[in-house]
Structure 1
Amino acid sequence: MIEIVRIDESFEQFEELLALILSSFAYMDGVIDPPSSAHRLTLDSLAQKAKDEIAFVALDGRELMGCIFCKPEAASLYVGKLAVSPSAQGKGVGSALLRIAEETAHGLGLPALRLETRIELVGNHQRFSSWGFTKTAENSHPGYSRTTSIEMTKHLD
């Protein structure tokens, strides 16, 4: 049974969490340009991220199944580093993590979730659309003249 747990900098499984993020983002290597910011994560920066943001993990016992990092903004809760273990994909873990993000947004009085996904990852665009997100902007990473990511927003009831 999957349990969603909030974590902070005292979390004891940052090595496993970093490995989970890297393995779940590995399919992007050689597909997206610029490369994923996941490659810049370290154990220390991940612990700092858990301290600075609202972070949750999905656990099956002690085994990490997924994670989500959320950052409150003026008009939305930004969702980042949504990652699901390759072995757990398609089993509802991502949906469960997004539900907890929605609950968090409601608790903070924020009317929407916002995320960014790379322009090349059309499958992600479709998946997020199926979860109620709509495209709201196109963005470019610094130094790029072409669109490198799209912003998607889900307005909450």
Structure 2
Amino acid sequence: MIEISRIDGQFRGWDELLALILSSFAYMEGVIDPPSSAHRLTLALLAQKARDEMAFIAKDGRSLVGCIFLKLELRCVYVGKLAVAPDRQGKGIGRRLLDVAETVAREHGVPALRLETRIELAANHAGFFRWGFLKTGENSHPGYARVTSIEMTKQLG
């Protein structure tokens, strides 16, 4: 049974969380340019990110199987570092983590979720579209003249 909880000051599983993020983003290596910011994460940076944002983990018993980081913005909640263990993808864990994001947005009175996904990751675009996200913009990373990511937004009813 999957349990989702917010990371708090008692959390001690930083190594496992970093490994989860890196393993779930590994398929992007050699596919996206520039490389994922996940590679710049350290244990200290990850702990700081969890303090600066709202971080939730999904566990199946003792196993960490997913996470999501949420940042409250003026008109939305930004969804970042949504990660599901590779061997657990396609089982509804990502959807459950996005449900938590929707709850957080409603609790804070903001009408939407927002995320960015790399331009090369068409399967991700399709998955987020199925979950109710629509393309709302295109962005370029610093130093790139071409589009490197798209912004997607889900309006909450």
Q: TM-score, normalised by structure 1?
A: 0.99
Question: What is the aligned partner in structure 1 of residue 100 from structure 2?
Answer: 100
Spell out, residue by residue over 1:92-129, the C-alpha distance to the aligned partner (whole angstroms, 9 max, x if none). Answer: 00000000000000000010000000000000000000
1:2-151 to 2 correspondences below 5 Å:
2-151=2-151
Counterpart of 2:67 in structure 1: which amino acid?
Answer: C
Superposed displacement of residue 2, structure 1:
0.1
How many residues end up aligned between the 2 structures?
157
RMSD over aligned CA atoms reads 0.6
**Distance across 2 between alignment mates of 1:50 and 1:9:** 10
Q: In the TM superposition, what whole-angstrom CA distance separates every residue of 1:3-52 from its partner, at most 9, and x where no partner exists? A: 00000354110100000000000000000000000000000000000111
Amino acid at match of 1:33: D
Instruction: Work out the CA distance in 2 between the residues paired with 1:51 and 1:108.
Output: 18
1:50 match: secondary structure: helix
Offset of residue 61 of structure 1: 1.1
**Aligned with 1:67: secondary structure?**
strand
Tell me how far 1:69 sits from its aligned partner.
0.1
* TM-score, structure 2 as length reference: 0.99
Distance 1:147 1:30 in 2: 17
Provide the residue aligned with 2:154 in structure 1: 154
Structure 1's consecutive aligned runs of 4 or more residues displaced over 3 angstroms after TM superposition are none
Amino acid at match of 1:154: K
Q: Distance in 2 between matches of 1:9 and 1:41?
A: 19
**3-state SS, counterpart of residue 123 of structure 1:** helix
Distance 1:24 1:10 in 2: 24
**How far apart in 2 are the matches of 1:8 and 1:24?**
22
Unaligned runs of at least 5 residues, structure 2: none
Q: Distance in 2 between matches of 1:5 and 1:87?
A: 21
